[in-house]
């Protein structure tokens, strides 16, 4: 198996590449940009989630949807998924009167979040030197294309969850013993979530930057962000369950504060993944 020159350079000097990426991220004010993205994303996330469940409940049982969403919400807002689900369920009981308000709220704040994200990505990939900007109609439609992609992902994961739950009830007779497949089912659900997250992020990195991004570069960014988030997510789960006093300090605002904090970390990693791709591209230009 032959590796490209940039890949060989990264494998030989991983620390140098990490430092180069962090310096570029700091130069581009990544933390500041991530804060703006997280703020608008938080305001649009709940309406988007509720509307997705309302739409998908025409195809899949709503209880199954909520179970699946709750499982993967724990990836996005560690330790607060149940609180978010309670809010979602409360809105769903009044979906007829709230649907229009939810739609307007989601459209407004998601457009702001996507605009901030698009500007941040353009700063990170300014070395592309693309003089022609993306047509404003394309920028206007892209957020809702990604929202549709998210709905399709939720639907797919829900259907897969039903299948894996059926597998968990089965067992295999081997060497004179019956071996339950429950553990296998749980592992498959975890790997499915990891794969779906990686693919969605890879598509994001492939489509959002103005200019051409190679498919394997986009996958590198998606896999990097997903892997880093998995490590940080487990740290957050441990912190909020053992050390954090957020519930005492913030009271009823705890869920919003934790969600905003988690989304800012997520937005930071999202931009950091873009920075990884950018630095890898620069490395390819230098070694070519």
CA distances from 134 to 143, 153, 185, 233 (A): 14, 26, 43, 34
Mean pLDDT value across residues 143-154 = 70
Q: Looking at the DSSP assignment, which residues form a beta bridge with residue 180?
A: 171
CA distances from 46 to 113, 180, 275 (A): 14, 37, 28
The predicted pLDDT at position 32 comes to 87
Mean pLDDT value across residues 119-133 = 74
Residue 15, phi then psi, degrees to nearest 5: -65, -40
Lowest-pLDDT range, 63-77, 97-111, 115-129, 259-273?
97-111
Mean pLDDT of the chain: 75
Q: What percent of the chain has pLDDT over 70?
A: 71
pLDDT band with cut points at 50, 70 and 90 for residue 64: confident
Range among 20-29, 157-166, 180-189, 205-214 with highest mean pLDDT value:
20-29
Q: What percent of the chain has pLDDT over 90?
A: 2
Largest CA distance in the chain: 69
The predicted pLDDT at position 175 comes to 47
Tell me the C-alpha distance between 252 and 258, whole Å: 11
Tell me the C-alpha distance between 245 and 272, whole Å: 29
Does the structure show a pLDDT above 60 at 169?
A: no
The predicted pLDDT at position 134 comes to 64
Residue 180: strand, helix, or coil: strand
Domain ranges of the chain: 5-128+136-287
- pLDDT single digits (tens) 172-224: 444 455 555 555 666 777 777 788 888 888 888 888 887 778 888 888 888 98
- Check residues 153 and 28 and name the one with the higher pLDDT: 28
Tell me the C-alpha distance between 69 and 85, whole Å: 8
Q: Looking at the DSSP assignment, which residues form a beta bridge with residue 177?
A: 174
Mean pLDDT value across residues 95-107 = 65
């Amino acid at each position: 198996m032959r590796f490209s020159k940039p890949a060989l350079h990264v494998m030989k000097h991983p620390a140098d590449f990490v430092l180069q990426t962090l310096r570029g991220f700091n130069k581009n004010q990544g933390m500041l940009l991530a804060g703006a993205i997280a703020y608008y994303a938080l305001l649009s996330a709940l309406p988007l989630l509720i509307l997705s469940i309302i739409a998908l409940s025409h195809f899949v049982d709503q209880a199954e949807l909520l179970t699946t969403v709750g499982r993967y919400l724990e990836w996005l807002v560690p330790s607060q998924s149940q609180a978010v689900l309670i809010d979602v369920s409360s809105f769903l009981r009044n979906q007829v009167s709230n649907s229009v308000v939810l739609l307007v709220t989601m459209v407004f704040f998601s457009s702001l979040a996507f605009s901030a994200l698009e500007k941040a990505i353009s700063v990170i990939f300014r070395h592309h030197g693309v003089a022609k900007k993306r047509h404003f109609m394309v920028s206007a439609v892209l957020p809702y294309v990604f929202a549709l992609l998210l709905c399709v992902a939720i639907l797919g994961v829900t259907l897969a969850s039903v299948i894996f739950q059926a597998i968990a009830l089965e067992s295999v007779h081997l060497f004179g013993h019956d071996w339950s497949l429950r553990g296998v089912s749980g592992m498959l659900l975890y790997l499915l979530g990891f794969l779906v997250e990686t693919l969605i992020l890879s598509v994001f990195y492939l489509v959002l930057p103005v200019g051409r991004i190679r498919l394997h570069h986009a996958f590198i960014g998606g896999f990097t962000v997903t892997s880093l988030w998995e490590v940080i997510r487990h740290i957050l789960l441990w912190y909020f369950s053992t050390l954090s006093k957020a519930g005492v300090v913030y009271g009823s605002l705890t869920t919003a504060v934790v969600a905003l904090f988690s989304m800012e970390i997520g937005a930071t990693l999202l931009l950091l993944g873009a920075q990884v791709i950018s630095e890898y591209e620069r490395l390819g230009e230098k070694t070519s």
